[in-house]
Amino acid sequence: MSCRWPRVRALAAFALAAVALAACAQGQSTVDATVDAPPADAGVDAPIDAPGSDGRPLGNDVCAGAEDLTAAASGATGVTVVGDLTGYGNDVEPPQACTGFVNDGPDAVYVLTVGPGKIVTATLTPQGWDGAVELVQPCVRTPICLAGSDGGDPEVATFTTTAAITLYVVVDSWDATSFGPYALNVRVQ
């Protein structure tokens, strides 16, 4: 009998190696030993929880998962949503002129479809981190900036529509290490 090392992913290498060594010491093949081995990622679940990475539908981390706030934002006080950029990626990067800063950090995306002559106001209140908010169109890696704010407390971006439009509200940050919970109020008047 020979003990050959199966190909494994880096995450499971240590657990599988221990099982394989024990199996070889007991005269079993590594294939037999790994059938009953515990999952290699048991207790190491954090990276799997990123939106969409575990088979769940994409969250608002990407344009395709943008949360639609159209109906709720049209109320007298708009709509306030709470979120958290933890685990999100940097998918939307408006030009630096949008806020005065390059926003290379994680972002969350919301969508609105509004008629002409409407005032759209997005107010972002980050909880313990430096955030930015942008109103953009279309939702792509480098969109056109309609309005943005990075330097206020809270961050407030306002845009007046001249025609019917679908626009995106992006909760953003300046750096990959700047993220956390937030409250976002979006109002269409």
- CA distances 56 to 53, 110, 180, Å, are 7, 18, 21
Strand order across the 181-188 sheet? 79-84, 181-188, 119-126, 155-160
Higher-scoring residue by pLDDT: 86, 28:
86
pLDDT tens for each residue of 126-142: 999 999 999 999 999 99
pLDDT-derived band of residue 103, with 50, 70 and 90 as boundaries?
confident
Tens-place pLDDT, residues 151-173: 888 999 999 999 999 999 999 99
Least confident range of 34-43, 51-60, 82-91, 137-146: 34-43
